[in-house]
Amino acid sequence: MQLNHRELRAFLAIARCGTINAAANAIGMTQPALSRSLKRLEATLEARLFDRHPGGMALTEFGRLVQQHAELIEFESARLTEKIRMMNGAAAGFVRIGLVPSAISSLLSRAVQQMFSAASHVQVQVIEGAGNQMLELVANGSVDFAVIGQVQSDIPDGVLTTPIGREEVCVAASPEHSVFSDPDLCLKDLKAHPWILPEKGNAIWLGFNDLFRRAGLEPPVPHITTNSVHTLRTLVAEGRYLTMMSRVIFSLEESNGLIVPIPLAAAHWEREIVLARRSQRSLLPATRLLLLEFEKQASIAE
């Protein structure tokens, strides 16, 4: 069974835009043509890929599986095009990278600035997520490399991780939080306050659990978990919640007195920053250039 790449492109547009109308506008097709393309793909696969509802289109279980493979095909096609064009001297390259939020805050701007000074026409796509998610993207080839915090989960087969730096992680809160009024603050006292944390499975979550268990305490259950750094910072700055996160993520809020680390030595620790890439995949010149800049900026930041 051969899959039509145009139909996969149309499918991805619908999956990303959520509606036939928006997808048609995004890729320059008419709505009827896009609908016919989707119907042909569903007929070829003998599966319904979307559930239709008044608000738009939602992927089915089959649709989510097709999306994974369609995105990989899209990515590999882009890599092939890049390689041919670079061999002909017609392009400077395209790089797709995965980053955890702290790497975006601390390394991304300087790394791409340095790269663009040497190769101004390189295109970079950044995908943000938790470390375990980024490892999966490296493993399946969806990104060229990823910069993540050291994770304790199993490393997927074929993925190589290399330490490139360290970053401070700490418990933090608004300076107006009641925790700062306790002159004899200890870890046990932190259990009495509501917490907001990154979603479960994140490396920060593991550090949070270890912090309390090393002291013989059962970790408190967070009131809120989120995969959004913006949500995390916003709610902490409002004054009700404690959190644990990489200090670089709230550096701007700290400089403006909105979020600060709590004055408890046990609530501060360091984690390694690692670079993850496929061990058997050769790097194109643009990818290698950006990877080296991330390594350089991480060493400068230490």
How far from 210 is each of 99, 216, 247, CA to CA, in Å? 24, 10, 18
Residue % of the chain over a pLDDT of 70: 93
Is the CATH code 3.40.50.2300 the one for domain 5-73? Answer: no
Residue % of the chain over a pLDDT of 90: 44
More confident call, 148 vs 280: 148
The average pLDDT across 153-172 equals 87
Q: What is the largest CA-CA distance in the chain?
A: 70
pLDDT at 32: 92
Residue 80: is its pLDDT beyond 90? no
Q: What is the CA radius of gyration of the chain?
A: 22
Confirm if 149 and 270 have CB atoms less than 8 A apart: no
39 exposed, middle or buried (CB, 10 Å; 0-12, 13-18, 19+)?
exposed
| The CATH fold of domain 167-269 | D-Maltodextrin-Binding Protein; domain 2 (3.40.190)
Cα distance between residue 39 and residue 36, in whole Å: 5
Own/partner long-range contacts of 106-110 (Cβ < 8 Å, ≥24 apart): 106/167, 106/246, 106/248, 106/297, 106/301, 107/147, 107/294, 107/297, 107/298, 107/301, 110/293, 110/297, 110/300
Beta carbons within 10 angstroms of residue 168's beta carbon: 13
**CB neighbour list of residue 70: distance below 8 Å, 6 or more residues apart:** 8, 11, 12
**CB neighbour list of residue 42: distance below 8 Å, 6 or more residues apart:** 48, 49
- Equal CATH topology for 5-73 and 90-164+272-301: no
Cα distance between residue 3 and residue 7, in whole Å: 8
pTM: 0.65
pLDDT at 71: 83
Residue 12: is its pLDDT beyond 80? yes
| 207-239 pLDDT per residue, tens | 888 899 998 999 999 999 998 889 999 999 999
DSSP 28: T
pLDDT at 196: 96
Pick one of 1.10.3720.10, 3.40.50.620, 3.30.1240.10, 3.40.190.10 as the CATH number of 90-164+272-301: 3.40.190.10
Confirm if 156 and 135 have CB atoms less than 8 A apart: yes
Q: Which residue ranges make up each domain of the chain?
A: 5-73, 90-164+272-301, 167-269
| 197-207 pLDDT per residue, tens | 987 766 788 88
Q: Where are the beta strands (DSSP E) in the chain?
A: 50-53, 56-59, 94-99, 123-128, 145-149, 159-173, 196-198, 224-226, 243-246, 260-261, 268-278
Residue 103: is its pLDDT beyond 60? yes
Cα distance between residue 149 and residue 236, in whole Å: 22
The average pLDDT across 150-173 equals 86
What tokens does 78 get?
Answer: 């882009």
Q: How confident is the model at residue 281 (pLDDT cuts 50, 70, 90)?
A: low
Residue 91: is its pLDDT beyond 60? no
Out of 25-34, 115-124, 167-176, 179-188, least confident range: 115-124
Confirm if 267 and 214 have CB atoms less than 8 A apart: no
Helix (H, G, I), strand (E, B) or coil at 26: helix
Give me the chain's average pLDDT, please. Answer: 87
| 26-46 pLDDT per residue, tens | 888 999 999 999 999 999 999
